[in-house]
């Protein structure tokens, strides 16, 4: 049974796959602009605390649920609590995977286009670029196709194999780009903005932004870590793996900041310019710098690789669900799930100026998101659903499965956990649900 589902072949392979899922557009594209909008250094401090206090204990809980049941998010919950409504939390996770994948791959498609555009150094008007309907859809389709081809290969020969190649490559490119931007004139002003915390800038909004970013960046809240955990064996040390994945993810985001802020400040640009940061300011910079037509493509290759190892993981969640629960053929499902995602993503691909309808289709109130379809998908699935999922899954592990049972599972393969057990149980049963709930209420303006 287990061999049919597949398993990671090595600890290193699993850590690379987990880090590959976690490290993505969230680190290189989203994290720098969120940090820029939320006060630079002050955000970095809050972010690291949120990762340690909330992200890490929660990630261990998801992994434990997956390994204990050897199932996808829906199957895992059904195995622990048969015949209950809790299974809808798993269903929400599967749907969220498809939802994120649909808009995420559209942005990932842009990175493919920008590898070429920064290489030839022309056609770098972002507004025009994303408003071209055929081009957006073709790049999006290309990215879905590459993702599907890798997931098609299965756990060990597809996902694990590619992550083991792509992740080390990604860190190499990150390092090379840091060395480049540090040599730019005025770079140190950016390093100072990024690393010198001004604590007066920390507000409730900073903490909320940090939590949303941490869940998205660590791939938490929708059962991805349940799914990846289900391919672990009882010998695996989940505590060390979760620590390694969180560390690598935070390191990658931190390094991306060390590329982007020096670059911005050396050009005298404003760091708080939102999602366009990476697609507008950086290419402009590359075009002014010596060697820019080489560095530019490398930066967007980096972004594409980061995105690819994440889209793989997002597609794997619905695939695992259908393989386990509907007993369908893995290879057929991969194409089916990729096709559904493609259809679901077309409105997002057309929402950046190509179609007036999807560019201005307000479904959510203005204080939550801008009016284009992609931004609203991103808020619904990339922020809101992950935080709700995180809340419900912490309650499920802490109170329904029971934190003690989960702790016994974690203990297997990681003897040191005994020292952290009490703390972990407190975090999962009380700290996480309460803090997430407060943050959610705050989001809807309950405290204003």
Interface positions with ligand TRP (CB under 6 A): 21-22, 24-27, 100, 216-217, 219, 222, 224, 310, 313-314, 386
Which residues are CB-contacts of 445 (< 8 A; sequence separation ≥ 6)?
367
Name the DSSP letter for residue 275.
G
What is the closest distance, in whole angstroms, from the C-beta atom of residue 195 to ligand TRP in the complex? 22
154 vs 368: CA distance, rounded Å:
38
Least distance from ligand TRP to the Cβ atom of residue 316, Å: 9
Task: Report in angstroms how near the CB of residue 345 gets to ligand TRP at its nearest.
Answer: 15
SS in 3 state form for 327-342? CCCHHHHHHHHHHHHH
In angstroms, the CA 312 to CA 145 distance is: 11
Least spacing, CB of residue 411 vs ligand TRP, in Å: 26
Task: Tell the smallest beta-carbon distance from residue 314 to ligand TRP (Å).
Answer: 5
State the number of CA atoms in the 13 A half-sphere of 123 facing the CB.
14
Q: How far is the CB of 372 from ligand TRP (least distance, A)?
A: 19
**How far is Cα 361 from Cα 356, in angstroms, rounded to an integer?**
8
Q: Which is nearer to ligand TRP, 23 or 354 (CB)?
A: 23
Min dist CB 96 to ligand TRP, Å, is 7
| CB of residue 224 to ligand TRP, shortest distance in Å | 4
Q: How far is the CB of 22 from ligand TRP (least distance, A)?
A: 5
Q: Which is nearer to ligand TRP, 100 or 151 (CB)?
A: 100
- Closer CB to ligand TRP, 292 or 318, in the complex: 318
Helix (H) / strand (E) element for 136: namely helix 133-152
Going by C-alpha positions, the residue among 445, 119, 143, 177 that lies closest to residue 315 is 143
Nearer to ligand TRP, 310 or 352 (CB): 310
Estimate to the nearest angstrom the gap between the alpha carbon of 5 and the chain centroid: 24
* CB of 139 or CB of 289, closer to ligand TRP: 139
d(C-alpha 106, C-alpha 141), whole Å: 8
End-to-end CA distance of the chain: 53
In this complex, which beta carbon is closest to ligand TRP, that of residue 163 or of residue 310? 310
CB neighbour class for 306 (10 Å; exposed up to 12, middle 13-18, buried from 19): buried
Indicate the residue among 206 and 310 with the shorter CB distance to ligand TRP: 310
CB nearer to ligand TRP: give 148 or 354.
Answer: 148
CB 121 within 8 A of CB 290: no
**CA within 13 Å, CB half, 239:** 17
Distances (CA, A) of 400 to 79, 426, 439: 12, 15, 23
Residue 55 structure tokens: 């992200």
Looking at the Cβ atoms of 38 and 313, the one nearer to ligand TRP is 313
């Amino acid at each position: 049974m287990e061999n049919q589902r597949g398993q990671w072949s090595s600890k290193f392979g699993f850590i690379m796959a987990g880090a590959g899922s976690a490290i993505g557009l969230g680190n290189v594209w989203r994290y720098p602009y969120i940090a820029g909008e939320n006060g630079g250094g002050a955000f970095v401090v809050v972010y690291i605390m949120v990762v340690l206090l909330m992200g890490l204990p929660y990630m261990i809980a998801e992994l434990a649920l997956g390994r204990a049941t050897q199932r996808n998010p829906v199957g895992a919950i059904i195995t622990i609590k048969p015949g209950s409504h809790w299974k809808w939390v798993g269903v929400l996770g599967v749907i969220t995977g498809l939802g994120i994948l649909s808009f995420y791959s559209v942005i990932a498609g842009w990175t493919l286009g920008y590898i070429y555009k920064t290489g030839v150094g022309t056609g770098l008007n972002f507004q025009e670029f994303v408003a071209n309907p055929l081009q957006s859809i073709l790049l999006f389709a290309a990215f879905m196709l590459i993702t599907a081809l890798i997931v098609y290969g299965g756990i060990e020969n597809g996902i694990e194999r590619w992550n083991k190649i792509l992740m080390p490559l990604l860190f190499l490119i990150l390092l090379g780009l840091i060395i480049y931007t540090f040599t730019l004139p005025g770079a140190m002003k950016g390093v100072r903005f990024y690393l010198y915390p001004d604590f007066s800038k920390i507000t409730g909004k900073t903490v909320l932004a940090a939590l949303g970013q941490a869940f998205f960046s660590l791939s938490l809240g929708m059962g991805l870590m349940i799914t990846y955990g289900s391919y672990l064996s009882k010998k695996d040390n989940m505590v060390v793996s979760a620590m390694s994945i969180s560390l690598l993810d935070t390191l990658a985001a931190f390094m991306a900041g060390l590329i982007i802020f020096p670059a911005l400040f050396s050009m005298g640009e404003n760091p708080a310019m939102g999602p366009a940061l990476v697609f507008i300011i950086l290419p402009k910079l590359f075009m002014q710098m010596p060697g820019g037509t080489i560095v530019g493509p490398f930066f967007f290759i980096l972004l594409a690789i980061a995105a690819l190892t994440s889209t793989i993981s997002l597609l794997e969640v619905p695939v695992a669900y259908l393989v386990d629960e509907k007993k369908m053929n893995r290879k057929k499902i991969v194409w089916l799930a990729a096709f559904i995602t493609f259809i679901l993503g077309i409105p997002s691909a057309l929402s950046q100026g190509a179609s007036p309808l999807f560019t201005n289709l307000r479904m959510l109130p203005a204080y939550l998101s801008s009016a284009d379809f992609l931004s609203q998908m991103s808020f619904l699935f990339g922020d809101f659903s992950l935080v709700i999922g995180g809340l419900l899954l912490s309650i499920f592990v802490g109170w329904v499965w029971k934190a003690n049972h989960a702790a016994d599972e974690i203990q297997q393969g990681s003897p040191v956990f005994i020292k952290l057990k009490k703390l972990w149980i407190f975090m999962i049963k009380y700290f996480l649900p309460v803090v997430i709930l407060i943050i959610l209420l705050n989001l809807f303006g309950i405290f204003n």
